[in-house]
A and B are shown apart, each in its own frame.
Chain A
Amino acid sequence: MSSNPYQERSLVVKIIFVTVVVIFIVRLAMLQLFDDSLRKIADQQALRNVTQYPARGLIYDRNGELLVHNEAVYDLMVIPRMMKDFDTAYFCHCLGMSREEFDAKMKKACSYSLYSPSPFMKQISKEEYASWESHIYKFRGFYVQQRTLRIYDRPIAAHVLGYVGEVDSVDMSRDTMHYYRQGDYIGKSGLEKSYEEVLRGVKGKKVMQVDVHNREIGPYMNGQLDSTAIEGGNLYTTLDADLQAYAEELMANKRGCIVAIEPKTGEVLTLVSAPCYDPNLLVGRVRGTNYMMLLNDISRPLFNRALQAQYPPGSIFKIAQAMTALNLGVITPGQGFACDKILGCHNHPSARSVQEAIKMSCNPYFYYTYRRVIQQGKYKNKFIDSQYGLTVWDDYMHRFGFGERLGIDLPNVNSGFIPDTAFYNKRYGEGRWAFTTIYSNSIGQGEVGVVPLQMANLACIVANRGYYYTPHLVRYFGPDSARNEEFYERHETGIKSSYFDIAANGMYDVVHGAGGTAHRANIPDIDICGKTGTAENIGIDHSVFIAFAPMDNPQIAVAVYVENAGAGGVWAAPIASLVIEKYIRGEVTRKDFERQYREANPCQKLPLKRVTKKKK
Chain B
Amino acid sequence: MENKIDWITLLLYVAILLFGWMNIYAACYDGVHTAFFDMKSQHGRQLMWMGVSLLIGATILLIKPRIISSSSYIIYLLVMLLMVVTFFVARDVKGGHSWIDIGPFKLQSSEFAKIATALAVAKYVGGIDIDIRQWRHQLVAWTLVVIPMGLTLLQHDMGSALVFAGFVLPMFREGMSPSILVIGIVAAVLFVLALVVNQFIIAGIIVLIAVAYLFIWLNKRTRRDYTRAIGIAVVAIAFTFSVDFFFNKLDTHQQERIQVLLGQCDDIQGTGYNQHQSKIAIGSGGLTGKGFLKGTITKADFVPEQETDFIFCTVGEEWGFLGATALLVCYCLLLCRLVMLAERQYSRYARFYGYSIASILFIHVFINIGMVLGLLPVIGIPLPFFSYGGSSLMAFSLMLAIFLRQDQDRNKAM
Contacts and interface: CB of A to CB of B under 8 A. Distances in A.
Contacts of B45: none
A297 interface: no
A486 B384 CA distance: 76
A212 interface: yes
A508 B342 CA distance: 119
Contacts, number: 133
Contact of A24 (B173, B301, B343, B373): B373
A606 interface: no
Interface residues of B, number: 56
A38 B279 contact: yes
Interface string A1-28: 1100111011011101110110111011
Contacts of B336: 14, 17-18
A57 B349 CA distance: 84
Contact of A42 (B173, B297, B320): B297
B156 interface: no
Interface in B295-316: 296-297, 299-302, 316
What secondary structure prevails in chain B residues at the interface with A? Answer: helix
A27 B373 contact: yes
Contacts of B281: 42
B328 A21 contact: yes
A378 B329 CA distance: 100
Contacts of A211: 299-302
Contacts of A210: 300
A538 to B, nearest CB: 70
Interface string A554-598: 000000000000000000000000000000000000000000000
Contact of A39 (B173, B269, B284, B339): B284
Interface in A146-182: none
Interface stretch (B12-20, B143-151, B362-370, B388-396): B362-370
B172 A32 contact: no
A5 B348 CA distance: 11
Interface string A374-409: 000000000000000000000000000000000000
A356 B247 CA distance: 112
A41 B301 contact: no
Contacts of B358: 13, 17
A546 B300 CA distance: 71
Contacts of B355: 13
Contacts of B173: 6, 9-10, 13
Nearest to A7: B343
B373 A28 contact: yes
Contacts of B359: 13
B300 A33 contact: no
Contacts of B286: 32-33, 39
**Listed residue (A5, A46, A47, A218) with the most chain B CB atoms within 10 angstroms of its CB:** A46
Interface in A198-248: 209-213, 217-218, 220-221
B268 to A, nearest CB: 10
B49 interface: no
A7 B347 CA distance: 13
A416 B102 CA distance: 95
A209 B279 contact: no
Contacts of A345: none
B265 interface: no
Interface size range on A against B: 35 or more
A27 B375 contact: yes
A97 interface: no
A480 interface: no
A2 B296 contact: no
Nearest to A40: B284
A6 to B, nearest CB: 5
A87 interface: no
Contacts of A218: 31
Interface string B32-46: 000000000000000
B370 A24 contact: yes
Nearest to B304: A212
A441 B324 CA distance: 86
B294 A221 contact: yes
B282 A6 contact: no
B233 to A, nearest CB: 26
B373 A31 contact: yes
Interface in B270-290: 279-287
A35 interface: yes
B321 A32 contact: yes
A52 interface: no
A129 B262 CA distance: 47
Contacts of A42: 280-281, 283-284, 296-297, 317
B287 A46 contact: no
B191 interface: no
B346 interface: yes
B332 interface: yes
A45 interface: yes
A25 B331 CA distance: 12
B284 A29 contact: no
B93 to A, nearest CB: 22
A552 interface: no
B280 A9 contact: no
A43 B126 CA distance: 56
A218 to B, nearest CB: 6
Contact of B339 (A1, A5, A13, A27): A13
Contacts of A5: 175
B202 interface: no
B321 A33 contact: yes
B325 to A, nearest CB: 5
A210 B283 CA distance: 18
Contacts of B375: 23-24, 27
Across chains A and B, which 10 residue pairs bring their CB atoms closest together, nearest first?
Answer: A38-B283, A42-B284, A46-B296, A211-B300, A21-B332, A32-B321, A31-B283, A39-B284, A2-B348, A17-B335
12 contacts: A5-B175, A6-B175, A10-B342, A17-B332, A20-B365, A21-B328, A28-B316, A32-B324, A33-B287, A211-B300, A211-B302, A213-B301
Interface of B: 30-31, 126, 169, 172-175, 269, 279-287, 294, 296-297, 299-302, 316-317, 320-321, 324-325, 328-329, 331-332, 335-336, 339-340, 342-343, 346-348, 355, 358-359, 362, 365-366, 369-370, 373-375, 413
Given A2-B346, A24-B375, 6 more contacts: A2-B347, A9-B173, A31-B282, A42-B317, A211-B299, A217-B299
